[in-house]
Structure 1
Amino acid sequence: MEQKLDSDVTDAIEDAEAQLPTESAILSDPNQDPRFIIQRKRLYTIVLSLCLCLFLSTLESTVIGTALVAITNDLQGFNISSWIVTSYLLTYTGFLTALAKLSDTFGRRNVMCLCIIIFIIFSIACGVAETMLQLIVFRAFQGIGGGGMYTMAFVIIPELVPPSKYAAYSGLIAGVAALSSLLGPIFGGIISNRGNWEWIFLFNAPNGTVTLILFYFALPPAFPYNMEDANAPVNLHLAQKVRRIDYVGLLLILASSFLLVTAIQEGGIAYPWDSGVILSLLILSISCTAGLVCWGWSFTRRSTTAQEPVLPWTIVSDRYALGLLLVCFFTGLGFITCVIILPQHFQIVFQDSPARAGFRLLAMTLVVPLGSGAAGLALQNLHTPALYVFLTGFAFIILGTGLSTVVKNVADGFPTHEYGFQVTMGFGFGINLAAAVMAAPLAFRPQHLAVGMGTSNQFRVLGGSIGVAICANILNDHLANRLRGLLSPDQIRALLASAQTLAFISPDLRQAVRDTFAESFVMQMQVILGLSCAGLLATLLMIERQPRYQHYVFNRQNRGIGRYGMLLDR
């Protein structure tokens, strides 16, 4: 009976799909779908501006690492220098989902332009800061703009391009994000070596201004709606927009993110993990997260409400969507952590300059776009279920990180076979990063796609923050145990803040430091290996009797008809 029902549903779907207009027909008929009427030159301009937004915001999260020594030498305040990084991550992470949701109310263009303006203004403020405290505060506001630019790029792409091109553009933005993560430490090292760390921030002003102009004039004001659509955000009165905001949800999601990121950044470094401060932060974060989920569920019990929940219950309760979010979490954990610890490993253990360490990292980051292209080919052209693509990506990540755990030799110089390990894991990261973006329309309903993309980004960045914190604690504990009595606590903290501090350590101690860092790196990669295996297991949440295919997104988005949509309705 069940087989007969599935057969009847399949036949009905095929009949319905046969009556649907083709993509070429929609492209020639502007009334069919407003997303597909953007002219080619304008489309390319929008995509260019989105890539620039993504590049600038991601670059700013990694560029500061190799410039901390130059900044602290100039502004002093080494004891709070870590907050230059932490303050940016706090707001960058906390506002990813919130700004994506607000764009549903106030419009994509308005929110993105506001984020770019905030990013430009506070980048300039960072560049002219005269004290460490000023720089930390300005970096926090800069993170709001950077986080908004990052998440809005991923929100707009699925609504901008036709389904047949979605894989290619998703791979493009995933590659841009990977490239900017790589170039950050290189730029930071080159600029700080010249003694002009201010240009790390001032560099964003002209580039951000160009990006703002391109984006504002290229993207239609009501995007992704028609101007005549009464539901378009630009056509709503301000009072209507204000009533749609979920203030409680915004407060809970910001509080949970801020508290969690603060705990994982300070735990084990500024405070012991079992201290009252860290435990309080973690408990409060968990409580706010639970409150956010319950608050989203409460909207399902209301018959009518003008508000729209920041985190809809359908995202939390859907097993497939939850699996996708966990894939984003564990992939971001591995990728962002490797981008941070590998250059540090190269600089300390093999005594590379920041620029040379960045070039060594090219072995991993340059194959990320190749992995993204392979994911697009599998999902879009071969109609492979996203589950199988993610399993393949994690297989490469596990293989690459597993092989990296055997790298122990220091005296013989840099082992060339480590390039092969980086290529392997980089290919896996590329597959998962792009597939997560391309699979979002399969996991989230069209009306929740923006907040779903924002939540995916938040999980990805949170995973990276947690991974970096775990590895920093491993390194900190190992250095403290092995180098106790050889280096002072201030010297150890300086090494953790910047690898350039090694030059100020006496030559007879440098070898001991290099050996200790090499041992710590193996331990760090073992942790990433174990967490990547956990990510592979989490992917199994996406197992379905009838897998969802990228092939059906086009019909689901444009007509609400298609295999996935009818199965959900049934």
Structure 2
Amino acid sequence: MTSTATAEVQESATLNELKVNIDTEAQKISESPLPGSEEQLKAVQNHELPSWRLACVIGSLSVGLYMSLMDMTIAASVLFTISTDFGNFREANWILLGYSSAYVGCAVVFTRTADVFGRKASVLVAFAVFTGFSLGAGWSQTLGQMILFRCLQGAGGSGLYTLCMVILPEISPMHLVPFVSGLIGIVVAVAGISGPVLGGLFSTYTTWRWSFWLNAPIGIPAMLLLFIVWPEEKYAVSVSNRPKLKNLDFLGAFLMISGSVSLIVGLQQAGSRIWTWHNPGTITLLTIGGASWVCMFIWQYILFSSKRMSKMHPQFPFALLKHRVMGFTLLAAFLSGFIFTTSIITIPMRGQIVNILNAVDASVRLIPMLVCSALGSFIGGYASYRRNNTFWTLNASACFMILGSGLMSSLEISLNTQKKQWGFECLLGLGIGLTLSTTTIITSLNTQFAHHAVAQGILSQIRVFGGTLGVAISTIILNNKIAKDLAGVVTPEQLEEFYTSPVAGYQWTVYEQSFVRIAETAAFRQDMLHCTYVGVGCLVASLFTYQKRPPTMMERKRQLRALYGNDAKIMAIAA
């Protein structure tokens, strides 16, 4: 035997002996008593937070999720009042567009910074940015200031939404997964209802500025509570091999933001008829958006296949797209986001224009859909509590969305809300809720631990991106219908006001409003038919998520506890 071979054998024996010693010491450490109460000891051994602290963290994160979602709808309900105060109808649309663009663009950025700087620091920054610039938006003296503050507020809202979706699955014990899934659905429902209601109340009885000031008394206490009760190191789930800042994929982040924002702004500007489709600005933005997404996917493939760049942490890991189940889950989330956001915008708008309701009463018409959405979210979590039934719940959700959207398209023009609308909304909401919880569970069970945060961030961004495109397409449909049916009935100036906010039609004559009601009925039917077609696409995507032996929550939790338990033991030995 050569000297080299002998050295290799000796080195192998040494490594095996070292491994045995580490395992022995780790076993001693795991069996040794730890200081603290019996409840604390049990919590540490099970890697679960004490119940009081868990409740505080979940509650604070839920408040952040609520604020970020509520602000997407409350601003729309006061847009006409704001544009009237500032005397600028044409550019007021950027109040909504700036928020939604930043909201979509910054989702994955926050998850990557959470891997580098930690969950606590990132979520507190998101709270501070959102709350601070909410106050700035409320105190704005010019439309330019308002748009700037809304963009920055949207960035903070994006962090609140995404990090909530990341942290809640990480800290929740397995037996609370159905409860947390239902809680997310409830928060989405309450935010969807309360946004337009509060906006209508503020604009009617006080000032629209309270629509933004309201976030301070809600967000600051939640932020302080989260700072105080955030888990100690012995309870918190830490990131193994935490990435360094220099290893983050800055190019991928830039391309993703560029692609998302350019497409949204281009579609919304053209759809709102601020620009024409042949306008150089529209063509430039749509071209940049499409090219950015193509370049982003090429760049992610280079990172995935190149050994020299193995230390880089990609913004959109190509492994997620290569994974069949995850790829089609992301597609299903994108399509369901399209249906959800389109519905939550168009149903109240139909109530205001067709049923001649105020903003508050029109928003109440969403209650059946949003309540059933919360119920569906809970059912989706509970169905896969012990056994992985995500394939079946995802397919069922698509069927409910197809059925609900198709039936909603059959609503006739009427001054009174038709009773059958409530049942149609329930079917639609049940499908949306099932999709929300199911896609989150699939992502948690089918991604590598190192990619969990960014995968949840991508899921959130894809869902919101789909919703934003849905709103843009809905705006295009309505405005095209209005332009065609009201040509010669109202003045071009009246049409400009309507493109900024359909509520402007309240000031028109009864004769002019009758044309608007007919046009809105036809546009709503077309929107719901599009949602039906999108639901069919969601069903097709869901069929491709089948797994012969899908992973379960129990298996995933065991892997997670083993991973972090071993990390903790090795760190203790090293210390």
The aligned amino acid for 1:185 is P
TM-score normalized with structure 1 length: 0.88
Deviation at residue 248 of structure 1 after TM alignment:
1.5
From 266, 269, 273, give the equivalent of 2:269. 266
1:284 aligns with 2:288: yes
In 2, the alpha carbon distance for the partners of 1:220 and 1:549 equals 26
In 2, the alpha carbon distance for the partners of 1:406 and 1:304 equals 54
From 362, 377, 382, give the equivalent of 2:382. 377
Deviation at residue 430 of structure 1 after TM alignment:
1.1
Deviation at residue 449 of structure 1 after TM alignment:
0.7
From 379, 382, 390, give the equivalent of 2:394. 390
1:339 aligns with 2:350: no
The aligned counterpart of 1:200 is: 211
Deviation at residue 68 of structure 1 after TM alignment:
1.1
In 1, the alpha carbon distance for the partners of 2:361 and 2:521 equals 18
From 182, 188, 194, give the equivalent of 1:183. 194
In 2, are the aligned partners of 1:57 and 1:149 still within 8 Å (CA)?
yes
> Over alpha carbons, which structure has the higher Rg?
2
The aligned counterpart of 1:252 is: 255
Q: How does 1:525-564 map to 2 (within 5 A)?
A: 525-559=528-562
Deviation at residue 27 of structure 1 after TM alignment:
9.1
Deviations 1:120-163 (A, max 9, x none): 11111111101111100110011111110110100101110122
Range that drifts further, 476-485 or 277-286: 277-286
The aligned counterpart of 2:443 is: 440
The aligned counterpart of 1:325 is: 330
The aligned amino acid for 1:322 is G
The aligned amino acid for 2:354 is V
Q: How does 1:141-220 map to 2 (within 5 A)?
A: 141-220=152-231
The aligned amino acid for 1:328 is A
In 1, are the aligned partners of 2:43 and 2:50 still within 8 Å (CA)?
no
In 1, the alpha carbon distance for the partners of 2:160 and 2:539 equals 29
From 285, 293, 298, give the equivalent of 2:297. 293
Deviation at residue 111 of structure 1 after TM alignment:
0.6
In 2, the alpha carbon distance for the partners of 1:98 and 1:245 equals 10
Look up the SS of the partner of 1:542 in the other structure.
coil
The aligned amino acid for 2:323 is D
Deviation at residue 46 of structure 1 after TM alignment:
0.2
Going from structure 1 to structure 2, the CA distance change for 1:273 and 1:175 (only over 3 Å counts) comes to farther
1:362 aligns with 2:373: no
Look up the SS of the partner of 2:385 in the other structure.
helix
Range that drifts further, 202-211 or 41-50: 202-211
The aligned counterpart of 1:399 is: 403
The aligned counterpart of 1:119 is: 130
The aligned counterpart of 2:5 is: none
Deviations 1:401-435 (A, max 9, x none): 11111111325x22111111111111111111111
The aligned counterpart of 1:16 is: none
The aligned counterpart of 2:472 is: 469
The aligned counterpart of 2:34 is: none
Range that drifts further, 333-342 or 170-179: 170-179
In 2, are the aligned partners of 1:157 and 1:170 still within 8 Å (CA)?
no
In 1, are the aligned partners of 2:405 and 2:528 still within 8 Å (CA)?
yes
Deviation at residue 477 of structure 1 after TM alignment:
0.8
In 2, the alpha carbon distance for the partners of 1:450 and 1:114 equals 17
Deviation at residue 245 of structure 1 after TM alignment:
2.5
Going from structure 1 to structure 2, the CA distance change for 1:490 and 1:433 (only over 3 Å counts) comes to farther
Deviation at residue 483 of structure 1 after TM alignment:
0.8
Range that drifts further, 214-223 or 280-289: 214-223
In 2, are the aligned partners of 1:167 and 1:376 still within 8 Å (CA)?
yes
The aligned counterpart of 2:18 is: none
Q: How many residues align?
A: 526
In 1, the alpha carbon distance for the partners of 2:285 and 2:132 equals 31
Deviation at residue 264 of structure 1 after TM alignment:
2.3
Going from structure 1 to structure 2, the CA distance change for 1:545 and 1:272 (only over 3 Å counts) comes to farther
Deviation at residue 548 of structure 1 after TM alignment:
4.0
What is the aligned-residue identity percentage?
A: 27
Look up the SS of the partner of 1:307 in the other structure.
coil
In 2, the alpha carbon distance for the partners of 1:496 and 1:552 equals 52
Deviation at residue 199 of structure 1 after TM alignment:
0.6
Look up the SS of the partner of 1:79 in the other structure.
coil
Unmatched 5+ residue regions in structure 2? Answer: 1-29, 31-37, 565-575
1:453 aligns with 2:420: no
The aligned amino acid for 1:477 is N
RMSD: 2.3
In 1, the alpha carbon distance for the partners of 2:211 and 2:339 equals 26
Going from structure 1 to structure 2, the CA distance change for 1:26 and 1:287 (only over 3 Å counts) comes to farther
Going from structure 1 to structure 2, the CA distance change for 1:105 and 1:224 (only over 3 Å counts) comes to farther
Range that drifts further, 63-72 or 343-352: 63-72
Going from structure 1 to structure 2, the CA distance change for 1:280 and 1:500 (only over 3 Å counts) comes to closer
Deviation at residue 259 of structure 1 after TM alignment:
1.1
Look up the SS of the partner of 1:406 in the other structure.
coil
1:311 aligns with 2:316: yes
The aligned counterpart of 2:570 is: none
The aligned counterpart of 1:519 is: 522
From 480, 488, 493, give the equivalent of 2:491. 488
In 2, the alpha carbon distance for the partners of 1:310 and 1:226 equals 22
In 2, the alpha carbon distance for the partners of 1:31 and 1:210 equals 28
From 234, 245, 270, give the equivalent of 1:242. 245
1:129 aligns with 2:140: yes
Deviation at residue 362 of structure 1 after TM alignment:
0.6
Q: How does 1:402-417 map to 2 (within 5 A)?
A: 402-410=406-414, 413-417=416-420
Going from structure 1 to structure 2, the CA distance change for 1:513 and 1:130 (only over 3 Å counts) comes to same
In 2, the alpha carbon distance for the partners of 1:161 and 1:334 equals 29
In 1, the alpha carbon distance for the partners of 2:426 and 2:209 equals 34
